[in-house]
Amino acid sequence: VSDEKKQMVANVEKQLEEARELLEQMELEVREIPPQSRGMYSSRMRSYKQEMGKLEADFKRSRIAYSDEVRNELLGDDRNSSENQRAHLLDNTERLERSSRRLEAGYQIAVET
């Protein structure tokens, strides 16, 4: 189970990095848009960045909770938290994937413009 969690954490970290790179690419594209159209895309970028910040904060909290869970398991204090943690990690992964899809769609719009 621990290897599965490590794999899941590594996967989320990889997806977060990919999302960060997409945001950077999108920002570069938005800078190239004519000024009269740039405002709408700039506000979308701010929204995407805020969402990304929330996802990263959620992931960080999950990692901290996971560390606490590991410590509790080592100390013999297992209170059904592993299932809660697993559900939380899965939920964060799903949210990250949804946000990544939205970022990719926004990137495509920026490129098409």
The CATH number of 1-75, from 1.10.238.10, 1.20.58.400, 3.90.1200.10, 3.30.1330.180, is: 1.20.58.400
Query: How much is the average pLDDT of 33-58?
Result: 88
In the chain, where are the structural domains located? 1-75, 77-112
Residue with tokens 């805020």: 50
pTM of the model: 0.56
Range with the poorest average pLDDT among 1-5, 8-12, 56-60 = 1-5
Alpha helix stretches (DSSP H) within 33-112:
35-74, 81-112
| pLDDT the model gives residue 105 | 85
Per-residue model confidence as pLDDT tens digits over 20-43:
999 999 999 888 888 888 888 888
Per-residue buried b or exposed e for 82-104, using 16+ beta carbons within 10 Å of the residue's own CB: beebbebbeebbeebeebbeebe
